[in-house]
Structure formats: structure tokens, C-alpha cells
Amino acid sequence: MSKDRYIAAKQKWAEKQKARGVTARATAAADRLPPGQKLTTGFPVLDLGVQPSIPLPEWRLKVDGLVAKPATLSWDALQALPQVEDVSDFHCVTTWSKYDCRWGGVAFTTLYELVQPDPAAQFVYFTGYDGYSTNVSLAQCLDDDVLVATRFEGAPVTREHGGPARIIIPKLYAWKGAKFVSGITFLAADKLGFWEVRGYSNTADPWTEDRYA
């Protein structure tokens, strides 16, 4: 099941790369702004009041859980993986949305391939250097636009926006994307994250205004 999604995502990537430069993304489509959202041109910062500073030589991303090959990636190891770019819209549950965010980094599917999750793994639990956590189904994570982002608009992701690396999951409300990401754990059973235990929706779909559980 997740294997099929994985393959489908990789296929979509190939098609997208081919189409790049040929097709322009539809702009300002009436159905582009999810219900209850307002468009912003700025980029608000939302965090727990802590913006940890992690020097790149000390930065690590631990990818573990129900996987055949757990990995602890250094900054250089992350940079050595295939790098991709994706332009996506960003929807925060506090009702602001930002269009056309150009993120660069490593596709989640690349990490999936690297650590080889067990078929029993169906959920992903993300942790951040600030103590944050959030949980997402594996199926959602295998979408081709899900990234470990290290670049925004061609420059390194700033500390306030979650650098050195943050998770981007464009199709879900942005709290599902951990800034200052430090860990990715593959799990058989779902485990609620920081906001999910505090009443936020577990599924977080902006199109159905799935904000609070």
C-alpha cells in the first residue's frame, strides 16, 4: 500500500521535472484559497517562543523507528542526497495562507528509500530541536511535495522559519511541518504530537477546515 504511494510519488516527480519551465502554475485561482483563510504576502513566524540555534557541524537528523536501516544524518550527509525544489502554498491554522513558497531540500521519499521502513510502519512522528513534535500518516508523507526543506526562495531557511531544516507538508495545515527538525520516527501506531494532544485536529486538512478535533 505505502509502497504503491511511494512509487506513484516518484513517478509524479519525474513528470513534474519534465514539465518544469513548460507549464506555469495557475495563479489566483478562485479555488486556491482554502475556506476561512486570508492571503498574506508577508511570512509570519509561529513557534513556541524558542528558536534553537544549531551550528551546522553539530546538526543531526535522526531517522529511526520501524526501519531496516536507521540513519543519523549529518548536514553534509543530507546535502549529499538528491536535492529537489518544489513550489507550494502554505496554510496556517490561524487563518493565514501564503502562495508560491519555493522550498528546496530533500524529498521525504528519498529518506524513505534510504531507511527502508518496515511494511508495518504507517505513521510518522517528527520532533524538533525546540521540543516540538507532530504526527502525520505515512501515506500523507509520501506525497511528492513533502520535503525536508533547507532552502527557501533560493537561500538557506532562516532560523526563525525553522532552519537549518524544517519539514514542509503543503497539503496539511502548517503545524504538521516541524521546524528545526531533529527526528523522524516511523511507527506502527499513531502517536499524537504537541498540538494534537492540545486539541488540534489529527488530520489537519485545510480544504475541509479540519482545524480542531
Asked if 179 touches ligand MTE (CB under 6 A), the answer is: yes
CB of 91 to Mo ion, least distance (A): 9
Asked if 175 touches ligand MTE (CB under 6 A), the answer is: yes
Asked if 213 touches ligand MTE (CB under 6 A), the answer is: no
By beta-carbon proximity to Mo ion, the closer residue of 37 and 182 is 37
Residue 46 near residue 94 (C-beta atoms within 8 A): yes
Q: CA 213 to CA 113: how far, in whole Å?
A: 32
Closest residue to Mo ion in the complex (CB): 92
The H-assigned helical ranges of 88-165 are 108-115, 138-141
Asked if 117 touches ligand MTE (CB under 6 A), the answer is: no
CB of 189 to Mo ion, least distance (A): 25
Residue 202 near residue 190 (C-beta atoms within 8 A): yes
3-class SS of residue 111: helix
DSSP 7-66: HHHHHHHHHHHHHTTTSPPP-S-TTSSPTT-EE-SS-----SS------GGG-EEEEEES
Binding-site string for Mo ion from residue 74 to residue 93, where x marks contact by CB under 5 A and - marks none? ------------------xx
Of 35-54, binders to ligand MTE (CB under 6 A) are: 43-48
Residue 105: contacted member of ligand MTE, Mo ion, none (CB under 5 to 8 Å, by partner type): none
